[in-house]
Amino acid sequence: MKGVLFTALLDYIEQRHDPVFLETLLAALPLESGAAYTAVGTYDWRELCAIAAAYAERTGSTPQQVLRTFGRRLFGVLATRFCALVEDHTDARAVLQGLQGVIHPIVQRLYPDAELPSFRAEDRGTELRVVYRSTRPLVDFAHGLIEGCLDHFGAAAAIDVERQPGGATFVVATRAEAGCRTR
């Protein structure tokens, strides 16, 4: 998993607390990397989950809530840092439909060794079904990224999650009053 996700998670935690909180949290974890992450490095996804679990324990949350909230925030960070990922899209629906064929090739160009999950979008009018498949158990993180995409474009939609082995199907139901359009 690319280091940009790890550095963003550490920034997320530090912004909510302070450097001492973060340092104490990391010092208590047996991380193979020693928590020495760089944005361009590649690290074991289990370390991201371990950090999320430790943070959840210290804050009275759950690892699933932490990963979802982090994913939601991360979309905006990535959209700002890597504007090419969203600049040609007019709305959230277009981004979600273009994950596999448009956005992942850009990510692959930036990070040739990235191991990306797969996404398949099925447009069903007022509903967009996003089928997510991954070898990593990060459904909640993906859910948060979808919510972050909707937030970024000011879209109003409800998301139902149908979990399956190896992934999930996210049913993004457009709300009539706003649709999946930019503000």
The neighbour count for residue 99, using CB atoms within 10 Å, is 23
User: How many alpha carbons lie under 13 Å from residue 117 in its C-beta half-sphere?
Assistant: 21
Sequence letter at residue 98:
G
CA 153, CA 44: separation in Å to the nearest integer? 31
> Which residues are CB-contacts of 3 (< 8 A; sequence separation ≥ 6)?
37, 38, 39, 40, 41, 42, 43
Q: Write out pLDDT tens, residues 90-123.
A: 899 999 998 888 777 877 888 888 788 999 999 9
For residue 76, the 8-state DSSP code is H
Q: Write out pLDDT tens, residues 40-70.
A: 899 999 999 999 999 999 999 999 999 999 9
φ, ψ for residue 40, nearest 5 deg: -95, -5
User: pTM for the complete prediction?
Assistant: 0.89
Percent of the chain with pLDDT over 90: 73
The predicted structure's pLDDT at residue 110: 80
Q: Is the pLDDT of residue 82 over 50?
A: yes
